[in-house]
Amino acid sequence: MAHADVKHHHHEEVSKWPFFIGVGGLLTTIAFTAFFAWGWKFIGLILFGVSLISILFGITGWANEHFEKDREYGLGALGTFLFILTEVVIFGTMFAAFWTARVTHAYEWANWVPEGVSISMAALLTLILWTSSYTIWKAEEVLENEGDTGKTIKWVFFTFSLGVLFVILHVSEWIHLWKEGFTLSVNMYGTGFYALTGLHTSHVLVGLIAHLYCIWLLATGKMNQYRPTVLRGVSAYWHFVDFMWLLVALTAYVLGTMAI
Amino acid sequence: MREAIHVEKPYFLASLREWLFTTDHKKIGILYFTVSYVFFLVAGLFGMGVRLEQAQPGMQVVSYDTYNYFLTGHGVVMLLWWAIAAHIGGFGNFLLPLMIGARDLAFPRLNALSWWMFFGASVLVLLTLIPGNQIKMMWTGYPPFSSNPDAGVTALYVFVIHLLGASSIATAVNFIVTYLKMRAPGVTFWKTNMYVHTLIAANVIQLIGVPSLAGAVTMLLLDTYFGTNFFNPAKGGDPLLYQNVFWFYSHPVVYVQVLPIFGFFSEIVPVFARRPLFGYHTMVFAVWGIVALSFIVWIHHMFVSGVPNWIRVLMSYTTLLIAVPTGIKIFNWMLTLYKGAIQLRSQMLYMLGGIFMFLIGGLTGIPNAMVAIDLGISDSLFVVGHFHYVLGMAVTLGILGAIIHWFPLATGKFYPENLGKISFWVIFAGANIFYFFQMVVGMLGNPRRYPDYPPIPEWAALHMIQTIGALILGVGIIIFTWGMIKGLISGEKAPQNPWKSPSLEWRLPVPAPAHNFGDEPPKIEKDWHPYRFDKLEEGNK
């Protein structure tokens, strides 16, 4: 029967870091409510800043504690897989919104399609992301088989750079489309387009932060050949983000601009 | 025949700092439970406000706005704090590692984060008590009403769901990985406690379902504050989209709420009938069958929303199919009792009462599942009475009985038996008077949600009877709560394994020690089974 073969040490079972992340999460929601619902713009911005600092403080402390205290049980990979399963459903809700509108408004849809949405742009973005899927796979392989931390950092950095390129191109495209009058609120195509691509880009940004985090862990020697779980998890997440892009692009660009 | 367990200090003897920043599953379980129980009492008071207003026709007690706030708060807090967090965050955390012989959850720090996010959501709920911040959109938050200023602060409603959702997803990941990877050698799939089976099934639903609700309320947030068109038909959106995405989670959530309660029934009934759980294998299949069906029945909440006939018929059938696994469970509990040496301890009364309430709730659910009948009773108080039998009382009686049952493990003391029995009979009587007549007045045509109703003498009488029932129910809850306090302060000291159960958590001394089973997982004999009583009885001779 599966049981992690673990010797436990009788130390105090405490960690203050989750507290800072949790409080940060609460403050983020209060900041948003203050800014948008209560009309306290300034207080909202201050609270938002405080919440970000609290979350970053918590995450950094958590990481340090994890690598100092915990033993590697290899459970993180399964945890990441389950988390990805949840993410698929979050994307699913936005797809449901887009597809529903696309089907029920098929006849007026053609009037909603702006000039600027280009499939070749989508193809370029796909190429960039899928290349980055290869580079992170390479990073994982180098770490696990060769144990060469320096080379691993290089491959993670390639991945990070490709991700940054993706975000820059994508955001400039958004700005272009927005100026053309294709906004969030113009019609359901606008809403669905930005909701899907925006949800996806927010995941890319999380991935980019995770890449920087991995580079830091590798550079400081916290992560190595024998403790690769974090890189594995980040890699699995990144493959998911890249695969999801295909569905997002097919929906937002191809299905979105198709006649009929 | 038991290995000696080294004496350790109880888990709860710890400094304030340890309690505050704990990552120990037992302490986190207690923290979850305490907050949830307090919220349960507050939500009960909200419900009492609603009931007192309805005691007579006309508006006497509260304003329309306060009434809407009470009804919304009652729904949100009872469903999300009491019927989920109290037993998944509370009991699940406390019992899961103990029942599978593990040291802690797979990710203790993540568990602490779950707790803090749950705490954050609780703070947001308290913020709605501040005048001007009441949310009045009912727990379902249907647009377009919910993005209207009259419905209250939409952002607070959305963020309560977001924080709770993030907390629930983290817990689900944690529990599932713990179950798959951390069982003691010898605890196989077919030797897992029913409570653990139901808890994991519930968390699989959470993992797949919660993100759907999160998506629905995110769209609501974007529509309200950023001018998107998700639910705006003028620009190609669709209000029904919200209902679909909302119920895709919020129907399965009733199984998140009730499956672990079935787990409690299945743990406690065999112990006090001194017989193995009847049909253990069919029980496991029934649980997973319910999980599979739970995701393909949600349209039965929308039979009057104008969805196409073929979908209504299809989901009417799938809904009725749920009666099969549920029926299997009821028969299994009954056959466990058959020829058993039944002891009517207070927690056993709570379990039998819970099964009875669940039976009534289940049978009254069948007409709701049939489109032709549902068209007539949809949005009436009949539906409200029906789900208070299932979600209200089966869940509440299950949790209260479980408190009595595992009280010695958590505190080292017994819950006072006489108060357990008295509170059960008072609650049971009050609840039946209340919810039975709620269904009757619903059948007569009284719609749900409205604060007022026309002065029809029969309706007024039925509402007065319900209110008396609700007051009796409230007295029962007060007695039960008093029993918990009394047990904590001056309860009789409990011996190890007070109920003579073969389940693993009772191999621990009471109260549970700080480090569970110690460094090594417990040694489990080849012929061990959580429901095998015969070996235990031999050992006692």
Q: Which of A18, A92, A96 sits opposite B241 (nearest CB)?
A: A96
| Among candidate residues B471, B399, B461, the one with its CA nearest the CA of residue B434 | B471
Q: Which of B209, B218, B230 sits opposite A191 (nearest CB)?
A: B230
Q: In a mutagenesis test of the A interface, which of B20, B146, B228 is the best target, namely the one with the most A β-carbons within 10 Å? A: B228
Residue range B1-14: mean pLDDT, rounded: 68
What pLDDT does residue A64 have?
87
Q: Quick check: is A10 in a domain? A: no
Q: Are residues A183 and A245 in the same domain?
A: yes
User: What angle separates helix A229-249 from helix A76-104, to the nearest 10 degrees?
Assistant: 10
B152-161, B464-473, B517-526, range with the lowest pLDDT: B517-526
Q: pLDDT > 90: what percent of chain A?
A: 81
> B188, A22: Cβ pair inside 8 Å?
no
CB contacts under 8 A, B 39-68 vs A, are: none
Residue range B460-481: mean pLDDT, rounded: 98
The answer to whether residues B167 and B121 touch, using CB atoms and an 8 Å cutoff, is yes
How many other β-carbons are positioned within 10 Å of the β-carbon of residue A172?
11
Residue range A142-160: mean pLDDT, rounded: 95
Q: Rounded to the nearest 5 degrees, what angle is found at the Cα of B80, between the Cα atoms of B481 and B321?
A: 110
Q: Quick check: is A11 in a domain? A: no
Residue A3: pLDDT band with limits 50, 70, 90: very low
> A65, B120: Cβ pair inside 8 Å?
no
Q: What is the DSSP string of B214-255?
A: HHHHHHHHHHHHH---TT-GGGT--HHHHHHHHHHHHTHHHH
Q: Rounded to the nearest 5 degrees, what angle is found at the Cα of B220, between the Cα atoms of B374 and A186?
A: 115
What pLDDT does residue A46 have?
97
Q: Quick check: is A1 in a domain? A: no
Which of A36, A70, A104 represents a domain boundary (last residue)?
Answer: A70
> B163, A26: Cβ pair inside 8 Å?
yes
Structure tokens at B365: 């659910």
Predicted structure pTM score: 0.94
> B117, A22: Cβ pair inside 8 Å?
yes
Which of A34, A51, A70 represents a domain boundary (last residue)?
Answer: A70
Residue B9: pLDDT band with limits 50, 70, 90: confident
Q: Examine the pLDDT at A5 and tell me if it is beyond 50.
A: no
Give the minimum alpha-carbon distance from A186 to chain B in angstroms, rounded to a whole number. 7
Q: Are residues A64 and A79 in the same domain?
A: no
For A94, name the nearest residue in chain B, comparing CA atoms only. Answer: B215
Tell me how far apart the alpha carbons of residues B22 and A13 are, in angstroms, rounded to a whole number. 6
CB contacts under 8 A, B 459-518 vs A, are: 515
Residue range B382-387: mean pLDDT, rounded: 97
Q: Which of B110, B156, B214 sits opposite A90 (nearest CB)?
A: B214
Q: In a mutagenesis test of the B interface, which of A89, A199, A237 is the best target, namely the one with the most B β-carbons within 10 Å? A: A89
Please name each of the domains of chain B with its CATH number.
19-540 (1.20.210.10)
B484's CB contacts (< 8 A; 6+ apart) are: B403, B407, B415
Mean pLDDT for chain A overall: 91
Q: Examine the pLDDT at B7 and tell me if it is beyond 80.
A: no
Any chain A CB within 8 A of the CB of B524? no
Residue range A154-169: mean pLDDT, rounded: 97
How many other β-carbons are positioned within 10 Å of the β-carbon of residue B265?
30
Q: Quick check: is A91 in a domain? A: yes
Q: Is B126 exposed, middle or buried (0-12, 13-18, 19+ CB in 10 A)?
A: exposed
What pLDDT does residue B379 have?
94
> B22, A36: Cβ pair inside 8 Å?
no
What pLDDT does residue B539 have?
56
> A188, B236: Cβ pair inside 8 Å?
yes
Residue range B244-267: mean pLDDT, rounded: 96
| Among candidate residues B127, B331, B144, B285, the one with its CA nearest the CA of residue B224 | B144
Q: Examine the pLDDT at B487 and tell me if it is beyond 90.
A: yes
Any chain A CB within 8 A of the CB of B235? yes
Q: Examine the pLDDT at A10 and tell me if it is beyond 90.
A: no
Q: Examine the pLDDT at A8 and tell me if it is beyond 60.
A: no
Tell me how far apart the alpha carbons of residues B474 and B471 are, in angstroms, rounded to a whole number. 5
> A86, B519: Cβ pair inside 8 Å?
no
Q: Quick check: is A6 in a domain? A: no
Which of A70, A91, A106 represents a domain boundary (last residue)?
Answer: A70
Residue range A85-107: mean pLDDT, rounded: 95
Phi, psi (degrees; rounded to nearest 5) at A184: -60, -35
User: What angle separates helix A119-141 from helix A229-249, to the nearest 10 degrees?
Assistant: 160
Residue B538: pLDDT band with limits 50, 70, 90: low
Tell me if residue B366 falls in helix, strand or coil.
helix
Residue B518: pLDDT band with limits 50, 70, 90: confident
Q: Are residues A151 and A242 in the same domain?
A: yes
> B236, A101: Cβ pair inside 8 Å?
yes
Q: Are residues A35 and A111 in the same domain?
A: no
Query: In which residue are the tokens 């029967």 written?
Result: A1
Number of A/B CB contacts below 8 angstroms equals: 204
Q: Are residues A59 and A91 in the same domain?
A: no
Q: Rounded to the nearest 5 degrees, what angle is found at the Cα of A63, between the Cα atoms of A61 and A64?
A: 65
Mean pLDDT for chain B overall: 95
**Number of domains present in the structure of chain A:** 2
Q: Which of B103, B188, B235 sits opposite A6 (nearest CB)?
A: B103
In the 8-state DSSP scheme, what is residue B391? I
Q: What is the DSSP string of chain A?
A: --B---PPP----B-SHHHHHHHHHHHHHHHHIIIIIS--HHHHHHHHHHHHHHHHHHHHHHHHHHHHH----S-HHHHHHHHHHHHHHHHHHHHHHHHHHHHHTHHHHHHH--TT--HHHHHHHHHHHHHHHHHHHHHHHIIIII--HHHHHHHHHHHHHHHHHHHHHHHHHHHHHHHTT--TTSSHHHHHHHHHHHHHHHHHHHHHHHHHHHHHHHHTTSS-TT--HHHHHHHHHHHHHHHHHHHHHIIIIIIHHS--
Q: Are residues A198 and A85 in the same domain?
A: yes
Structure tokens at B136: 């009045």
Q: Are residues A49 and A34 in the same domain?
A: yes
Residue range B493-521: mean pLDDT, rounded: 93
Tell me how far apart the alpha carbons of residues B359 and B501 are, in angstroms, rounded to a whole number. 27
Q: Examine the pLDDT at B4 and tell me if it is beyond 60.
A: no
Q: Are residues A103 and A148 in the same domain?
A: yes
Structure tokens at A38: 């209560």
Q: Quick check: is A9 in a domain? A: no
For A7, name the nearest residue in chain B, comparing CA atoms only. Answer: B519
Q: Quick check: is A216 in a domain? A: yes
Q: What number is the ipTM of this complex?
A: 0.93
In the 8-state DSSP scheme, what is residue B517? T
**HEC string for B420-489:** HHHHHHHHHHHHHHHHHHHHHHHHCCCECCCCCCCCCHHHHHHHHHHHHHHHHHHHHHHHHHHHHHHHHH
Structure tokens at A7: 């010797």
Residue A11: pLDDT band with limits 50, 70, 90: low
Q: Quick check: is A2 in a domain? A: no
CB contacts under 8 A, B 161-220 vs A, are: 162-163, 166, 169, 172-174, 176-177, 180-188, 207-212, 214-216, 218-219
Structure tokens at B235: 């620009």
In the 8-state DSSP scheme, what is residue B4? P
Q: What does the pLDDT look like over B19-56, one tens digit per residue? A: 999 999 999 999 999 999 999 999 999 999 999 999 99
Residue range A146-159: mean pLDDT, rounded: 95
Residues of A in contact with B180 (CB under 8 A): 2, 78
Q: Are residues A175 and A88 in the same domain?
A: yes
B10 - beta bridge partners?
B513
Residue span of the structural domain in which A58 resides: 16-70
The better pLDDT of the pair B147, B28 is held by: B28
Q: Which of A93, A105, A189 sits opposite B212 (nearest CB)?
A: A93
The answer to whether residues A59 and A18 touch, using CB atoms and an 8 Å cutoff, is no
Q: Examine the pLDDT at B70 and tell me if it is beyond 60.
A: yes
Give the minimum alpha-carbon distance from A83 to chain B in angstroms, rounded to a whole number. 7
Q: Are residues A102 and A185 in the same domain?
A: yes
From residue B386, how far is each of A251, B300, B379 by CA, in Å?
Answer: 42, 14, 12
Q: Are residues A146 and A175 in the same domain?
A: yes
Residue range A66-91: mean pLDDT, rounded: 89
Read off the CATH number of the domain in which A97 is found.
Answer: 1.20.120.80
> B115, A22: Cβ pair inside 8 Å?
yes
For A32, name the nearest residue in chain B, comparing CA atoms only. Answer: B155
Q: What does the pLDDT look like over A180-219, one tens digit per residue? A: 999 999 999 999 999 999 999 999 999 999 999 999 999 9
Q: Are residues A33 and A120 in the same domain?
A: no
Q: What does the pLDDT look like over A101-131, one tens digit per residue? A: 999 999 999 999 998 888 999 999 999 999 9
> B107, A8: Cβ pair inside 8 Å?
no
Q: pLDDT > 70: what percent of chain A?
A: 95
